């Protein structure tokens, strides 16, 4: 796909993700939105992740596989995904995450509808290794308040390590204005 045709870039940072990577990539390939690129950034994995990534990249033109020479840490690996992206929108996607087939399409439609919004994400189901639901994380109603300080506080400061919003669809220009990780 030509860079001008990419609407959403999906960055998949991974380290030793052999157990779930195939399922995550299959999920992304099944998206109803066709104008996507998948940037698989391997952080010097020591398992079968490189073989899986190379195999998928050879079979699927939407997938671009890159491998770090050494483990650069999680933050720089996430940044590397974004720096290689070409889409108007960007999404980080963990190697063990699954999304509904219309997730990207629906998020882009909502962002197109509201040009002031820079991020679109959904509720998140937490499951165990067998796929059994552990909990559901829902957006707090306070996130819709017009007070930006309250939204910021609610979303970031009171969530601890639960930054699921990070895995939503984000306008690339907004990410370009940050220091990333």
Q: Kindly report the CATH number assigned to the domain that includes residue 112.
A: 3.90.550.10
C-alpha gyration radius of the chain: 16
Q: Specify if 138 maps to a domain.
A: no
Q: What angle do CA 73, 78, 80 make, to 5 degrees?
A: 95
d(CA 21, CA 96): 6
Task: For residue 179, give Cα distances in angstroms to 75, 98, 145, 151.
Answer: 11, 27, 26, 20
Q: Specify if 151 maps to a domain.
A: no
Structural domain harbouring 60: 3-116+166-176
Q: Specify if 72 maps to a domain.
A: yes
Bridge partners (DSSP) listed for residue 9: 37, 90
- For each successive 10 residues of the chain (181 residues), what is the average pLDDT? 79 97 97 98 98 98 98 96 97 92 96 90 71 66 64 57 74 85 72
Q: Specify if 122 maps to a domain.
A: no
pLDDT at 159: 52
Q: Specify if 76 maps to a domain.
A: yes
pLDDT at 154: 63
d(CA 16, CA 28): 19
pLDDT at 123: 65
Q: Specify if 160 maps to a domain.
A: no
pLDDT at 139: 62
Task: For residue 29, give Cα distances in angstroms to 37, 57, 102, 167, 178.
Answer: 9, 11, 11, 17, 29
Q: Specify if 45 maps to a domain.
A: yes
The beta-carbon contacts of 118-122 under 8 Å, at least 24 apart in sequence, are 118/170, 118/171, 118/174, 119/165, 119/168, 119/169, 119/170, 119/171, 119/174, 120/168, 120/169, 121/164, 121/165, 121/167, 121/168, 121/169, 122/168
What's the pTM? 0.85
Number of domains in the chain: 1
């Amino acid at each position: 796909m030509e860079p001008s045709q990419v609407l959403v870039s999906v960055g998949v940072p991974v380290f030793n993700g052999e157990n779930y990577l195939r399922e995550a990539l299959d999920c992304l390939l099944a998206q109803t939105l066709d104008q996507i690129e998948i940037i698989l950034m391997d952080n010097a994995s020591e398992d079968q992740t490189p073989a899986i990534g190379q195999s998928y990249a050879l079979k699927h033109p939407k997938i671009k596989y890159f491998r770090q020479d050494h483990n650069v840490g999680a933050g720089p690996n996430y940044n590397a995904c974004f720096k290689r992206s070409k889409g108007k929108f960007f999404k980080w996607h963990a190697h063990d995450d699954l999304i509904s087939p219309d997730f990207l399409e629906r998020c882009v439609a909502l962002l197109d509808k509201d040009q002031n919004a820079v991020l679109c994400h959904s509720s998140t189901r937490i499951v165990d290794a067998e796929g059994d639901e552990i909990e559901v994380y829902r957006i707090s109603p306070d996130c819709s308040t017009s007070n930006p300080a309250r939204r910021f506080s609610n979303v970031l400061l009171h969530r601890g390590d639960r930054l699921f919003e990070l895995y939503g669809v984000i306008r690339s220009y907004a990410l370009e204005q940050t220091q990333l990780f």
